[in-house]
Amino acid sequence: MRNLLILTALLCPSLPARADGFICEARYTEIRIRVANHQDPRLGTRSPESMTLSDPLQPDLPATASFTSANRTLSYQGSGRYLGRVDLRCTRPELRSIFIAGTRLQDLASIVLDIEFSYDPDVVQLANAVPGIPGRIVYQRRDGETLDEPVICKRFPARLP
C-alpha cells in the first residue's frame, strides 16, 4: 500500500496552487474593494496579499487606499474578515486628505471588510454559484466612531501555473 501511494505521488502531476480573492462594491458610497490572496503556495494561498479601495467619484486615483500583508497593514481575521490598518507612514502624503465614505483617510484607524464566506467546501461551492456574496465594510475612525455599510462581493477563483 505504501509503495502504491509513493508511485501515485510520483506519476500524478501535482495540482497547481489556487489563489482567489474578492471584488466588492459598497451599496451607498459605491466604493470598490478588491482583496487578492497570495499566489505563492509557500505564503498560503488563502491569506491576503492586498486590499485596495477605489472610489468611482475620484476616477483619477487608481487606489484611494491600499493595504498589504508585506507592510503589515493587512491581516485575515478568519471567516471572511479582512482588517486593513491605516498606517500613515505607509500612505502617500497626497492621499491622507482623500475622503473615504465621508471621512479623511488620515482620520481612519482601520477598514474592515467582513464577507459572509468561509473556505468550507459547501460555502465555496455556493459562493461560486451565486451572483453576489453579502457582507459589510466598517470604517473605524481614530476618535472611536464607527461607520459601516453593506457590500456585495463576487469571488474570483484563480488557477495558478
Is residue 55 situated within a structural domain? yes
Is residue 26 situated within a structural domain? yes
Is residue 43 situated within a structural domain? yes
Is residue 4 situated within a structural domain? no
Is residue 58 situated within a structural domain? yes
- CA 82 → CA 28, 76, 149, distances in Å? 20, 5, 15
DSSP codes of every residue in 84-141: EE--GGGS-GGGTT-EETTEEGGGEEEEEEEES----HHHHHHHHHSS-EEEEEEEEE
Domain that holds residue 63: 19-159
pLDDT in tens, 16-46: 445 588 999 999 989 999 998 877 666 555 6
Q: Return the pLDDT at 11.
A: 39
| Intervals of the chain under pLDDT 50 | 1-17, 160-161
Q: Which of 56, 63, 65 is nearest to 113 (CA)?
A: 65
Is residue 150 situated within a structural domain? yes
Q: ∠ at Cα 125 (119, 130), nearest 5°?
A: 115
Is residue 12 situated within a structural domain? no
Number of domains making up the chain: 1
Is residue 3 situated within a structural domain? no
CA distance 150 to 155: 16
Q: Return the pLDDT at 12.
A: 38
Q: Is the pTM of this model over 0.75?
A: yes
